[in-house]
Structure 1
Amino acid sequence: MSEYDVAVSFAEEQRSAVEEVVEAFKQRGLTVLHGPEQTHEWWAHKEGGDLPDARVRFFVPFVSAVDDFTTAALRAVKAGDEHVLPVLLGDVTVPPDLLHPHVAYVRGTVHRPDQLAEALTARIESAEAVGWQRAPVAEVVTRAKGIAQVAEDPEPIVPATFSRYTEQDATLRYLGEQFAAALPRLERQGFVGTAHVGETRIAVRVERAGDTVYALDIQRGGIGGDETVNFVVGKQDGSALTNGWARPVYNTGAGAAVLEVHDFSVLGGGGAPRAYRREELFTALWRRIDAVLTSTVG
């Protein structure tokens, strides 16, 4: 499967201008999945098996007018899909119901391809720095179209009383309580576990003979927005990277709040986002700690 930095989509009237932007991307060393036929309409009418067999860092639709396909892309971004990166052209306006306070769209003009290329390069470098992996473009586009289809159904709805920040507070409080209760049990295995629980950060440390063998910081806010819970594995030295993050979301099917976990390594692997209840997330984190300590002893 081929790998690219970006895959682009464009309206028919943007064809020639977008080709100049793509050339500017390539001059900056970006790899681009681009073909003259890959308009918004082309992507919209292709099914999963008919889409390119390629992995991309970002799917980039150029948005000069909000139509059905670009609405799907914007809705996917609001839902937290980190692989969709719409580029807003000219004075196009994003509908209020598709805005998210923590999403900063790339905005520019096809008449300044150098500026757009510079902005995209910066986004890609940031994504690489936090460990975002490429994803199959067929899955990214199909998922975005699926989100739009679900959104067309007015029921079920997210309750007006649902609050991401309330859920964030509850998650930090719960994880702090559980780690504080569980860590002393590690003494049976010859380890000393401590948890420093503050208002914005939980510092979990496991030592053996004075040496730190596992460190986990759970922090309020960070990548994904200030309503998220971020995880950093390893003692921080001022340059630590996020190893995973969780956004509180409301699962309308289950009728309950859950945590949508974007896992880079905190749980031992990557892949698509997964939904956990608070209790399930603690269990997964504890199992990961146990696995690391078991390998340390072995």
Structure 2
Amino acid sequence: MDYDVAVSFAEEQRTAVEEVVEVWRQRGLTVLHGPDQTHEWWSHKESGDLPDARVRFLLPFVSSVDDFTAAMLRAVRAGDEHVLPVLVGDTVVPADLLHPHVTYLRDVAEELTEALAARVEAAEAAGRDRAPVAQIVSRAKEFAPVTATVPASFSRYAEQDAALRYLGEQFAAAVPGLERRGFAGTVHVGDTRIAVRIERAGDTVYALDIQRGGIGGDETVNFVVGRHDAGSACSNGWARPIYDLDAGAAVLELHDHSVLGRGAEPRSYSREALFAALWQRINAVLAATVG
């Protein structure tokens, strides 16, 4: 039997996918969809056990990249026109699985339906044949994983700039809220240094300088806790921008001597996670001050 589309989904997406499939059918699209046809179901079926159907597109709903969805994404990267991934929520496709010239669909119900209908109509107008769904799945499984590499556009200094800018914005937004707890806070954001000072009745109870460059190199972000002489060479930890191949994104590798109090083993943080950890540490210190 011929269909416009077939769908594959993760177990937790079942209800949402059933709802959008019903919208597609009301729109006039024919859909191969079974309640058990999850990513796991598709991935464990041999070619001869897969549905005997031809489809214009196979739509895997991607909320996280597991073995099956990675195979589907590799198929797209290799130029398979019958695989059409739908990215769920704010899902980000790892750089090594992205096709630079493909626009991926998002699971916004009305927009997704119209975009899918337009893709089906375009395929019909171009005279592109349907393909056996078993062939689409089996072929995708044959693509070997691509060895991840650091993108040529990755820049430690650009990531350093972005980290300093983000941390400065977050501290400037968060520190005024300490007044409700009986503290006075100031944040000075300069080109090369962020100075965070927290006082109680005029006494400094916490000081943090975040500096461009330091003992780890001029591309790092250096952290100095406590008041110190200007220009003195000291560090309570430093972070170097690196590219995480597994995550497909830039992160900050923190060498923590004492800024978070978590030991010397390097640990990777996104900008958001690093600010959250720094702020949690500050709050712990302030709680001990009034405890």
**What TM-score, normalized by structure 2, do the two folds share?**
0.49
- The structure with the largest alpha-carbon Rg is 2
